[in-house]
Amino acid sequence: MDEDAFRKQFMKKSVFRQLSSLDKSIVPEKLFCREDEVSTLIVNYRRILEEEEQPSINCLILGKGGVGKTCTARYFGKNFYTIAIEKDVNLFLEYFDCINFRSKSKIIRELLAKYTHGSGRGYSDDEALKLILTKLIRDKGYMLLIIDEVHLLKPDEILAFLNIAETFGHQNAKLSILLICRGTDWMRIESERILSRLNQKIELKPYNFEESMKILQYRSEIALKEDVIDEDLVTMIAQIVVENKNMRHGIEILRKSGLFCDKEGFDHITAEIIREASDDVYPTFRADIIDGLKDQELLALLGIVRTLINNGTPFALVDDAFEEYQSICESYSVEPHVKMSFRKYVRQLAQLKIIASKTVRIEDATRGRHLEITLLDIPAGKLAELLEDIFERKFTK
């Protein structure tokens, strides 16, 4: 490509008014179809702004993937913050996704660094928390802590968060918590003790057709220019959303269809483009989890994916994947870790539900047992493409 051709690309019109409005981290300006759930949150947390002693409130948002848990919580947080400031409450809003902060300690250290500028080295979690709570009281502040994907914490870590007011005294805990979790993951976590610390559980149901229509119409109006998408086509996407019970699928289809138009120079979306985009979206697969992986986990995952592709089998053996991982490390000039660490990365990937692993007994007794790994949610070839993209950015200079 020469410079002229390069420039020409920029002269092309885009079908997007605001592509960034479809980004994963965006909280939409308006939240449709979650009025009841937001009202429930308001009823619970408004006491912080209205009562002298500012109580500690703990709620939990539950629901399947892509039903708007994260977006509802963040929408609530953002608007609650605005009202708090109007009412002269010095609110600190903090959002943590446990994909990036995988333990209670990590979250507390991050808060400590932010609010007291200390590293927290040498402090226990409780000591560090105490410093944060003291700082809040000194600043006449109050913290709303939103913890997403909370199933990645250990149940006793979750309990410790919910227990802060009991542990440090209600008058000392100027802090409330909002947890977010998928329903199936929560079943593993719930206990009497955890339940007794929750003010309310709020369950989000998947959107029905009318609701999906409303949301998609609104999101496409913001993201796309006029006349780029017909109502019929929004209907088509809404049907796909209802079928999969997952709004993320719909938002991804909008994004992919628009990008396809821009690339090919089309000025509007067609049914065929939507069908193709839909085939290219794996509704239960979460690219944001892959983005949050540590380098060694990424290398281990590519090892697994390459083994699956090479073998052409639905599962890979951990030993083969380890060998593949070692050669990948070598090709990117990264020091490979030992097999025990590799197994740890495999366990972490399984915990994040990117892969599933199971131990199987081998007939031949001398070889004992081995670990079989399979990919969930996305074909190996697709994931390899995605990972190679990330590796391009990360490891090659």
Residue owning tokens 């009991």: 166
Q: Is 150 in the site for ligand ATP (CB under 6 A)?
A: no
Shortest Å, Cβ 209 to Mg ion: 22
CB-nearer residue toward ligand ATP: 63 or 120 = 63
Q: Is 56 in the site for Mg ion (CB under 5 A)?
A: no
Distances (CA, A) of 136 to 45, 77, 127, 164: 18, 18, 14, 14
Single residue of 104, 248, 255, 256 touching ligand ATP by CB under 6 A: 248
Tell me how far apart the alpha carbons of residues 250 and 276 are, in angstroms, rounded to a whole number: 13
Taking the CA atoms of residue 44, residue 45, residue 50 and residue 52 in that order, the dihedral angle to the nearest 10 degrees is: 100
Q: Of Mg ion, ligand ATP, none, which one sits near residue 182, judging by CB under 5 to 8 A according to partner kind? A: ligand ATP
Q: Which two tokens stand for residue 288?
A: 């944001």
CB-nearer residue toward ligand ATP: 171 or 351 = 351
Q: Is 244 in the site for Mg ion (CB under 5 A)?
A: no
- Binding pattern to ligand ATP, positions 24-63, x when CB under 6 A? ----x--xxxx----------------------------x
Which of 24, 102, 27, 31 shows the shortest CA–CA distance to 65? 24
Helices (H) and strands (E) in the chain, counts: 18, 8
Q: Is 234 in the site for ligand ATP (CB under 6 A)?
A: no
Single residue of 68, 206, 283, 336 touching ligand ATP by CB under 6 A: 68
Q: Is 70 in the site for Mg ion (CB under 5 A)?
A: yes
Q: Of Mg ion, ligand ATP, none, which one sits near residue 328, judging by CB under 5 to 8 A according to partner kind? A: none
Q: Of Mg ion, ligand ATP, none, which one sits near residue 247, judging by CB under 5 to 8 A according to partner kind? A: ligand ATP
Secondary structure E strands in 183-258: 200-204
Single residue of 102, 109, 151, 182 touching ligand ATP by CB under 6 A: 182
Which of 272, 279, 282, 229 shows the shortest CA–CA distance to 254? 229
CB-nearer residue toward Mg ion: 93 or 317 = 93
Residue owning tokens 């420039």: 7
Q: Which two tokens stand for residue 377?
A: 């949610």
Closest residue to Mg ion in the complex (CB): 70
Q: Which two tokens stand for residue 47?
A: 């006491």
285 Cβ contact partners less than 8 Å away, ≥ 6 residues apart: 376, 377, 378
Residue 121 DSSP one-character state: T
Q: Within 198-227, which residues bind ligand ATP (CB under 6 A)? A: 215, 219
Query: What residues line the site for ligand ATP (CB under 6 A)?
Result: 28, 31-34, 63, 65-71, 182, 215, 219, 247-248, 251
